[in-house]
Structure 1
Amino acid sequence: MNPKVDFFFDKDTQWKEAYGQLRKIALECGLTEELKWGVPCYTSPSGKTGKQANVVLIHGFKEYCALLFHKGALLKDTEGLLIQQTENVQAARQIRFTDVQEILSHRSALKTYIFEAIEVEKAGLEVKLKKTKEFSMPDEFKEYLEDRPELKAAFEKLTPGRQRGYLLHFSQPKQSKTKVSRIEKAIPRIFDGLGLND
């Protein structure tokens, strides 16, 4: 147990008991407990780099708490427990719980998933992420890029992750005028070389 993470488990939340059980399971699997993104993250050595790699983390929301497997897309999911949070999440998968009993009844399955995730890291496996050009580009943004070569050049200079962030952000609204509004608000940031959340 890492004392830096204790505050997360000591907080009086609706998931306190559930978090404690998930922590116990993760530690019983021989993972190293760290604090990342303000939540407990469990790591194991990567066969690719030899450094500690993120395997699974514990987090909670209003309706559920969850184990999030960083490379869950590579797991076999023999029990059908893994959930893709949104269609845009490529690698991570969650196992969600709404009460402690669910965790206790899936205890051995959870360990199986964690051990498989550790093996994925040992083998140095990577999730094949979609390339930026595989993401759909809204017609409204295509028009902006065609009409303004300097905007196209600035967009192409962005990192692939920043490009994907914008494409997803521009694609979300159903109405064209909302898409256009998002694009126009983002143009100064694109010219500054910034991503959506920089």
Structure 2
Amino acid sequence: MTDKKIWDKANQWNEELELLKSIINTTNLIETTKWGTSVYTHNNKNIIGIGGFKSYFGLWFFNGVFLKDEYNLLINAQEGTTKSLRQMRFQSKADINEKIILEYLTEAIKVEENGLSIKPQKKEQLVSAFLQNEFKSDLNLKIAFEKLSPYKQREFIEYIETAKQEKTKLSRFEKIKPMILANIGLNDKYR
């Protein structure tokens, strides 16, 4: 069995993160590694993640929006973007209260057992007049584009449509045309 990794971007919270892990390990949650860090699941559903950053370390509750948050400890890290994830942040070991963390964990497990979750909203279909025009003159490109997953198609459309000037659209198009023909997504090298 391989060692589970802990996401510690600043590489300064090892002792604190191990303490959080020891608290979580008193529950029946199953530890797995996702997104390069320890994530704990119940019935194969993500309950809580753990990680360290530059100025804090913490826990994130995947369906934290449904928790009562009696102690007012949970925050939405990206207001307006993040729908259900909530973080519990700490600056030192002294901030960690095992009893309170276990209360939140117990409630988070119940939330999962009750099936509470926010389903991701489908994004509206994007259309690029620029790409549609290019497809008229290159049928092979159109066929190759249609073979891409909707996610990859959207990446290419956004890439073209976020260009403000026509010459930028043209240079971006020249960059992505061979990628589309080779069935390579815009950001595949990062996945």
With the length of structure 2 as denominator, give the TM-score of the two structures. 0.67
Superposed, which structure 2 residues align to 1:10-159 within 5 Å?
A: 13-45=11-43, 52-78=44-70, 79=72, 81-85=74-78, 87-104=80-97, 107-133=98-124, 142-149=128-135, 157-159=147-149
Q: 1:13 to 1:161 in 2, by over 3 A?
A: same
Q: 1:129 to 1:36 in 2, by over 3 A?
A: closer
SS for the counterpart of 1:63 is coil
Q: By how many angstroms is 1:133 displaced?
A: 0.7
Q: By how many angstroms is 1:154 displaced?
A: 5.2
Q: 1:195 to 1:88 in 2, by over 3 A?
A: farther
Q: 1:161 to 1:60 in 2, by over 3 A?
A: farther
Higher helix share: 1
Q: By how many angstroms is 1:26 displaced?
A: 1.4
Instruction: Output the CA distance in 1 between the equivalents of 2:172 and 2:81.
Output: 18
Instruction: Output the CA distance in 2 between the equivalents of 1:167 and 1:28.
Output: 47
Instruction: Output the CA distance in 2 between the equivalents of 1:179 and 1:39.
Output: 38
Q: 1:126 to 1:18 in 2, by over 3 A?
A: same
Q: 1:184 to 1:102 in 2, by over 3 A?
A: farther
**Rg larger in structure:** 2
The residue type equivalent to 2:149 in the other structure is: T
Q: 1:68 to 1:164 in 2, by over 3 A?
A: farther
5+ residue gaps, structure 2, are: none
Contact 2:11–2:52 (Cα < 8 Å) also in 1: no
Contact 1:31–1:42 (Cα < 8 Å) also in 2: yes
CA deviation map 1:84-116 (0-9, x unaligned): 347544553332222222223xx4443333223
SS for the counterpart of 2:96 is helix
With the length of structure 1 as denominator, give the TM-score of the two structures. 0.65
Query: Percent identity, aligned pairs only?
Result: 35
Instruction: Output the CA distance in 2 between the equivalents of 1:98 and 1:86.
Output: 21
Instruction: Output the CA distance in 1 between the equivalents of 2:160 and 2:68.
Output: 33
SS for the counterpart of 2:119 is coil
Instruction: Output the CA distance in 2 between the equivalents of 1:94 and 1:61.
Output: 12
Contact 2:128–2:157 (Cα < 8 Å) also in 1: no
CA deviation map 1:114-159 (0-9, x unaligned): 223222322334422121217xx5xxx7332342346676555543
The residue type equivalent to 1:176 in the other structure is: K
Q: Is residue 2:167 matched to residue 1:176?
A: no
Aligned residues: 179
Instruction: Output the CA distance in 2 between the equivalents of 1:73 and 1:164.
Output: 28
Q: 1:165 to 1:18 in 2, by over 3 A?
A: farther
CA RMSD of aligned residues (A): 3.8
Q: By how many angstroms is 1:164 displaced?
A: 5.3
